[in-house]
Amino acid sequence: MLNSLLGALESGLLYALMALGVYITFRILDFPDLTVDGSFTTGGAIAAVMITGGSSPWIATIAAFLGGLAAGAITGLIHTKGRINGLLSGILMMIALYSINMRIMGKPNVGLLGETTLFSSVSPLVFMPIVVIAIKLLLDLFFRTELGLALRATGDNKRMIRSFGANTDYTIILGLSLSNGLVALSGALIAQQSGFADISSGIGMIVIGLASVIIGEAIFGARTVFWATLAAVLGSIVYRVVVALALRIDWLEQTDLKVITAVIVIIALVLPTVQRNMKQKSTARRRAAEIAQTPGQKSVGGGF
């Protein structure tokens, strides 16, 4: 039991970078980006091929990050310059990346057993908390810079930030790029931890990312960027714990994971809406009763 929890913590941290990437597109940019399913594999593919080719695992990991940046930038270009719907841009890039990933790897699976990886000398449980916290804090800082504010405003009110001189095409490309860079980085780390890169490793990754972001928000809240990024990281860990617990149920198979994930996302998306509606109704009922009980008084508006 403890072992499986530690395992869940470890993968939660490894996938947390992917969740942060999904947070950037899904929450900050308000852009459902399906590139993720492809760019996650791209990260693993680049890292695995470079490591087996004799590169330092550090350089291979950084190259994977750069590969993700490029993939995201292309999705951004397709969407902004080609004026193709965001969802479709991501799907097109995801499909294109399947072929590209195959070209990079040359075969559907590249093994890393016996190779020197980032985790050869240090356990992920020691290494990952440092990396994840550092990246989370860097992101928080970035979102407070002038450029970061413009990026956030792009997802919040495009018309407004354009009227203050920001090129929203550029901020969208930047956000998608950064997001997919993190996703690919996560893919590279997962490949090194699990000992292989696989062409199908990214399938359903966007849903897992969404699950992490939404679970995190539901449990830890997202009042500020600081809390929202923290929630994405913790959400990723909670998701892995939930999955680990679910897999202990006898009649569930490993392949049931994706349907479990989909159900978690649906519940996490529906619950807040239902809660809000119920709260609104009860508030309205209470206010109506209050107003009815104060005779002769007209409704009073708030201050200016």
Partner 1 sequence: MLKLTEVSKLFHPGTPDEKIALIDVNLHLRPGDFVTVIGSNGAGKSTLMNMISGVIKPDAGEVRLGGVDIGHLPEHRRSKWIGRVFQDPMAGTAPHMTIEENLAMAFSRGKQRGFALGVNAKRRGMFQEQLRRLGIGLENRLRAKVGTLSGGERQALSLLMATFTEPQVLLLDEHTAALDPARAELVTRLTQEIVSELKLTTLMVTHNMEQAIRLGNRLIMMDGGRIILDVDDTKKRDLTMERLLGEFERISGHKLSDDRVMLGS
Shortest reach from residue 232's CB to partner 1, in Å: 16
**3, burial (CB in 10 Å: exposed 0-12, middle 13-18, buried 19+):** exposed
Shortest reach from residue 64's CB to partner 1, in Å: 24
| Angular region, 204: left φ>0, alpha ψ -120 to 50, beta rest | left
- Residue that is written with structure tokens 């619950």 in the block: 271
Shortest reach from residue 303's CB to partner 1, in Å: 8
258 binds partner 1 (CB under 8 A): no
- In the complex with partner 1, the residue whose CB is nearer, 145 or 275, is 145
Considering only the stretches 127-135, 148-156, 180-188, 287-295, report the one whose residues sit in contact with partner 1 under the rule CB under 8 A: 148-156
146 binds partner 1 (CB under 8 A): yes
Task: Please report which helix (H) or strand (E) contains residue 198, including its range.
Answer: strand 196-198
Q: How many residues of this chain interact with partner 1, rule: CB under 8 A?
A: 25
Shortest reach from residue 119's CB to partner 1, in Å: 32
165 binds partner 1 (CB under 8 A): yes
Query: Looking at 144, 258, 281, 287, which residue binds partner 1 (CB under 8 A)?
Result: 144
Q: Classify 1 as helix, strand or coil.
A: coil
Q: How many residues would you count in the chain?
A: 304
160 binds partner 1 (CB under 8 A): yes
Query: Looking at 3, 126, 164, 292, which residue binds partner 1 (CB under 8 A)?
Result: 164
Residue 240 CA to residue 114 CA, distance in Å, equals: 27
CB neighbour list of residue 257: distance below 8 Å, 6 or more residues apart: 243, 246, 247
Query: Looking at 70, 162, 241, 252, which residue binds partner 1 (CB under 8 A)?
Result: 162
Start-to-end C-alpha separation, the chain: 58
Query: Looking at 153, 189, 197, 205, which residue binds partner 1 (CB under 8 A)?
Result: 153
For residue 293, the one-letter residue type is: Q
Closest to 6 in 3D by CA, of 128, 112, 108, 102: 128
- In the complex with partner 1, the residue whose CB is nearer, 146 or 253, is 146
302 binds partner 1 (CB under 8 A): yes
Residue 302 CA to residue 304 CA, distance in Å, equals: 6
Q: What residues make contact with partner 1 under the rule CB under 8 A?
A: 142, 144-150, 152-153, 156-157, 159-168, 301-302, 304
